[in-house]
């Protein structure tokens, strides 16, 4: 049976090997996205793992930065600024067909502001940014650096170092006058190459039988120079050759079955012969049963207490007098959600941290939220107070859902005017509880 049916070094596998150096860069990137307006460049040659790092950031954001609204873009030389804007607007679920360029830009800026106003942080992760046309690259950079602060997006460009020459041209003067943060992706050391190989084979068919001896690892390190893409190439080739030359050994359970079954058959045959020749050995002998004369203790009842019957108290339900059930003449009013029905911080802290809710709206003025609740006739809501840009900030939440799928369904069922005006988003109660501590 061949063992080369899988390649654990396939770049499509959802695993990421973190060296201390890579971990430091991941943490710094997350910190800069969250707390800085700087343009961020991740610079590395092809094969160093830029795309893998980008995907790792997305996985981290999903669990640790769920308020990030992430748009991942894979660059091509043919994408125009108009096409790029249209793609982002489509991700925002905004209609944009047939609009001129200026209208597209205005619409994008407005939706960025609405998203940030609602407590989310729009982030663009651009893979292979060095492949973009200059006009598109310039527009993306301007999204990060120009306009009112609330209309800007965080931008991270994953690109080859050659982009530095592009950004040095006069067309990108905006970059010359602004602080840009550059991060590199270092190659692996010899020890890290060994650990990298072990990391990817430990859960594969090769975990107990692989060709990566010390000499082979040394050769891979020398040929790859510690570049992950080259390591994957050489390791995959070596595994393929190894798989063609070796077959897996029969499993232990198979070996036991192969040798154990004949033994069981022989033992059963011997037992059958003995039964035929000496049947008396298998007959049941009569057994004399001795019944002891057990005297009942006449005073036993004196030592046994009867269990008292369980008495269920009767619940008295107050009965309203008939006069209380007669409706009085009151003016007809529209249904308004009363403040007492809005759950508060105490309720939020008691919820399952893994459950989901919808953040509908945030505002500096609490009365804005009360009017919004009245307008849309919302129930099953909660509100809490936090701070934003140094001022009191009130956040309106809707619903409680045990899993992400239920929250997604609830989000889709909200009225279209509500969704379009506030851009509600899904978050966990755990993330809210952290803000309340």
Rg (CA), the chain: 35
What is the pLDDT at residue 73? 96
Which of 406, 405, 397 is closest to 429 using CA atoms?
397
- Fold match between 20-184 and 339-436? no
- In the CATH scheme, what is the code of domain 339-436? 3.30.70.1070
Give the orientation angle of helix 214-224 with respect to helix 190-201, to 10 degrees: 110
Q: Binning pLDDT at 50, 70 and 90, where does residue 204 land?
A: confident
Dihedral over alpha carbons 421, 100, 146, 60 (to 10 degrees):
60
Q: What is the pLDDT of residues 210-232, one digit of tens each?
A: 888 999 999 999 999 899 999 98
The yes/no answer on whether domain 20-184 falls in CATH 3.40.1190.20 is no
Q: Is the dihedral of CA 284, 285, 286, 292 positive or negative?
A: negative
pLDDT class of 99 with cuts at 50, 70, 90: confident
Predicted confidence at residue 249, as pLDDT, reads: 46
pTM exceeds 0.75: no
Q: Residue ranges of the domains in the chain? A: 20-184, 339-436
């Amino acid at each position: 049976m061949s063992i080369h049916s899988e390649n654990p070094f396939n770049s499509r596998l959802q695993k990421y090997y973190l060296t201390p150096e890579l971990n430091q860069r991941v943490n710094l990137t997350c910190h800069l996205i969250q707390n800085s307006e700087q343009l961020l460049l991740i610079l590395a040659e092809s094969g160093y793992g830029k795309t893998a790092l980008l995907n790792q950031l997305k996985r981290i954001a999903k669990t640790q930065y769920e308020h990030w609204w992430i748009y991942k873009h894979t660059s091509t030389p043919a994408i125009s600024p108009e096409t790029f804007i249209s793609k982002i607007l489509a991700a925002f679920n905004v209609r944009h067909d047939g609009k001129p360029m200026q209208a597209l830009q205005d619409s994008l800026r407005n939706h960025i502001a609405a998203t940030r106003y609602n407590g989310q942080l729009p982030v663009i992760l651009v893979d292979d940014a060095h492949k973009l046309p200059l006009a598109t690259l310039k527009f993306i950079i301007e999204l990060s650096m120009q306009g009112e602060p609330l209309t800007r997006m965080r931008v991270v460009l994953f690109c080859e170092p050659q982009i530095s020459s592009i950004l040095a041209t006069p067309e990108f003067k905006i970059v010359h006058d602004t602080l840009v943060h550059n991060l590199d992706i270092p190659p692996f050391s010899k020890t890290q190459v060994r650990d990298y190989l072990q990391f990817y084979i430990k859960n594969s068919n090769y975990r107990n039988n692989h060709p990566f001896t010390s000499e082979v690892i040394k050769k891979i390190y020398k040929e790859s120079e510690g570049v992950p893409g080259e390591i994957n190439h050489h390791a995959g080739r070596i595994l393929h050759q190894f798989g063609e030359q070796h077959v897996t050994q029969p499993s232990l359970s198979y070996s036991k079955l192969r040798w154990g079954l004949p033994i069981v058959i022989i033992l059963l045959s011997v037992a059958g012969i003995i039964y035929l020749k000496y049947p008396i050995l298998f007959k049941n002998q009569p057994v004399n049963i001795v019944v002891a004369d057990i005297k009942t203790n006449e005073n036993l009842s004196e030592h046994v207490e009867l269990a008292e019957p369980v008495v269920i108290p009767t619940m008295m339900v107050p009965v309203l007098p008939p006069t209380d059930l007669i409706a009085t003449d009151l003016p007809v009013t529209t249904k308004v959600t009363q403040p007492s029905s809005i759950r508060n911080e105490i309720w939020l802290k008691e919820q399952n941290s893994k459950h989901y809710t919808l953040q509908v709206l945030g505002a500096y003025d609490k009365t804005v939220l009360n009017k919004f609740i009245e307008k849309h006739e919302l129930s099953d809501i909660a509100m809490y107070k936090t701070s934003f840009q140094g001022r009191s900030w009130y956040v309106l939440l809707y619903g409680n859902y045990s899993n992400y799928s239920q929250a997604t369904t609830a989000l889709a069922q909200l009225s279209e005017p509500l969704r379009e005006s506030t851009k509600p988003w899904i978050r966990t109660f755990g993330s809210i509880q952290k803000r309340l501590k």
